[in-house]
Amino acid sequence: MNNYYEYKIKNGDTLSGIIQSMFGCVRNDTRYAETVKHLLALNPQIKNLDRIRSGDMLRLGVLPSTPPPTARIAKTAHPGHIKTPTFITQAVHPSDSDNFWALAWLEHNANYLTIPGGIAMGASGNLLSPGNVNLINEVSDHYADFKSDRITKSQYDYRRKLALDKLKTNIGPFEKMMFGKNTTHQSIRIARSGGVPATAHIAKHADRLKNIAAISKSGGIVLAGVGLTAACMQIASATDAQEKNEIFVETITSTGVGVGLGFAVGLFLISNPIGWGAAIVLAVGSTATSYGLGKFTRFVYTQSGTKIDLVSGAGVNRLCQ
Amino acid sequence: MSLAFNILAGTFVITLLALMGNLLLIFIMHVLMPRKVLDTYFKEPHFSSTEITMFTGFPLGYMRTAMFMRALGFPSSGKRRGVEGAYKLAPVWYCKVSKYLIVFFIINFSILILSGVIGYVYMLMYE
């Protein structure tokens, strides 16, 4: 954990004022030069401490072998306009520090998780669409027809082969993910030994797909949570209302368009089995479209010059702070 | 910005707001979905166990609503699953609203995507 404060320099702040309020020493104090040296070491981005600018961040660390600054501040006459800065990491318990830094990373890199994750979850969800899963159930239905003498053995074999050929073509390279080391035809077969019901293998794989579906569903919830949390953190750390609103409109649009695309794809997939290529194209297309339209909404918001404060209006600034 | 871009951006914003309203209405339809329809048809053999797992609860439950709204608004679309008679279990107003909502959604969403994609390409060129 870094041992420093982050202080945002305000209009009217001077270096001597900050040092006086935070470290309790004035210019003619013997420790003043030592404090300046210490601050320069903590802030390598600042070449000249006499030329600090409003809005810059200044790291203020505890001087070696001195009492904590808060103790000094309590005894020092406060310049009034300088408030005690928030020590971000002070409020974080040491046991939570890993989570704290993970969230800090997430704030800036959420797209690296949500975009590929969204594509993977979308593709697996599309592959497990009703059309494909029904092909597996068809085998079971054909077997029931065969056992009740509605079709002959060769008719059953032929229909089973047709359904499984189609499924194999549809899932393509995802066959291993779904059926492990066996092929589709080896996996979806009638059990002829082992004292289990004839459709035991089919039921087992239907259950397996059910589990993959559940994982996709949970993954979708986690990704949605990750995306919204990151957006909330970005809004919280944005420096002005304009930037907060830009992030807000981008997030709302991406989420809304993503949900709309899910609705549209759902209407389509309900009766159309699709192949693995189409599953990936749909997932990539959905993710790219919601991302792109989010960016475009931000662009439109910026270009329009509107001053409508959606973040405050929707109460998001109270939620994300 | 050119007049063409302003028209495009205006179309995009209006359809985006309409989409938000549309999603809100779909959420209301999700809550109001007749329990009788789900109890009768949202089970095997009409839906596989995988589908039932996928489309129950948050967040994909609304896709189940999409399917049933389509089956109720356009009964012939439910033939393949054997749910073409589901409309008989739902109030007439629910079937009608489902039909109009789906038609509106498809038209509005198509315009939104089209204007958004053209706008995004324009934005990349502008930047």
Task: Identify which has the larger pLDDT, A319 or A88.
Answer: A319
Say whether the peptide bond before residue B59 is cis (omega within 30 degrees of 0). yes
Check B50 against A266: CB less than 8 A apart.
Answer: no
Q: Are A260 and B23 a contacting pair at CB < 8 A?
A: yes
pLDDT over 70, % of chain B: 91
Residue-level pLDDT at A3: 61
Higher-pLDDT residue of A97 and B65 is: B65
Asked if A100 and A92 count as a contact pair (C-beta separation under 8 A), the reply is yes
Q: What percent of chain A has pLDDT over 90?
A: 0
- Mean of pLDDT values over A3-18: 74
Q: What is the mean pLDDT of residues B72-87?
A: 84
> Average model confidence (pLDDT) for chain A?
71
Higher pLDDT, A83 or A194: A194
**pLDDT tens profile A138-194:** 788 888 888 888 888 888 888 888 888 887 777 776 777 677 777 878 777 777 766
Q: What is the DSSP secondary-structure string of A233-280?
A: HHHHH-SSHHHHHHHHHHHHHHHHHHHHHHHHHHHHHTT----HHHHH
B7 part of contact set with chain A, CB < 8 Å: no
pLDDT at A275: 61
Percent of chain B with pLDDT over 90: 24
In the predicted structure, residue A215 carries a pLDDT above the cut 90: no
pLDDT of residue A71: 42
Length of chain A: 321
pLDDT confidence of residue A2? 53
Tell me what pLDDT residue A187 has: 78
* B67, pLDDT greater than 70: yes
pLDDT of residue B15: 92
- Give B95's pLDDT tier (boundaries 50, 70, 90): very high
Task: Between A102 and B71, name the one with better pLDDT.
Answer: B71
pLDDT of residue A79: 46
Nearest one of A54, A52, A15, A55 to A35, comparing CA atoms: A15
CA nearest neighbour of B71 among B80, B56, B84, B88: B84
CB contact under 8 A, A271 and B102: no
pLDDT bracket for residue A81 (50, 70, 90)? very low
**How much is the pLDDT for A110?**
57
Q: What mean pLDDT value characterizes chain B?
A: 85
At A148, list the tokens. Answer: 């009740």
Q: Are A210 and B9 inside 8 Å of each other by CB?
A: no
Partner-chain contact B67 A267, CB within 8 Å:
yes
Checking if the pLDDT of A116 tops 60, the result is no
The answer on pLDDT for A232 being more than 60 is yes
Instruction: Write the residue in A206, A256, A293 that is nearest to B23 by C-beta.
Output: A256
* A276-292 per-position pLDDT tens digit: 666 677 777 777 888 88
The pTM for the full model equals: 0.54
Q: Can you give the pLDDT at residue A80?
A: 46
pLDDT greater at residue A131 or residue B96: B96
Q: Is the pLDDT of residue A301 over 70?
A: yes
Q: What is the per-residue pLDDT for A311?
A: 80
Instruction: Say if the Cβ atoms of B109 and A303 lie within 8 Å.
Output: no
| Per-residue pLDDT band at A87 (split at 50, 70, 90) | very low
pLDDT at A304 over 60: yes
For chain A, percent of residues with pLDDT exceeding 70: 64
* pLDDT value at residue A186: 78
Closest CA of chain A from B107, distance in Å: 11
B-chain CB neighbours of A292 within 8 Å are: 116-117, 120
Q: Which residue from A292, A289, A286 is spatially nearest to A119, judged by alpha carbons?
A: A286
Highest mean pLDDT of the ranges A27-31, B37-41, B122-126? B37-41
Peptide bond into B45 cis (omega under 30): yes
User: What would the mean pLDDT of A207-211 be, rounded to a whole number?
Assistant: 69
Instruction: Note the pLDDT tens digit of each residue in B18-37.
Output: 998 988 998 899 889 888 88
pLDDT value of position B18: 92
Q: Does B77 touch chain A (CB under 8 A)?
A: yes
Nearest to B11 by CA among A107, A191, A297: A297
Write out the two tokens for A304: 């329009």
Output the pLDDT for position A276: 63
Residue of B nearest to A213 (CA): B54
pLDDT over 80 at B110, yes or no: yes
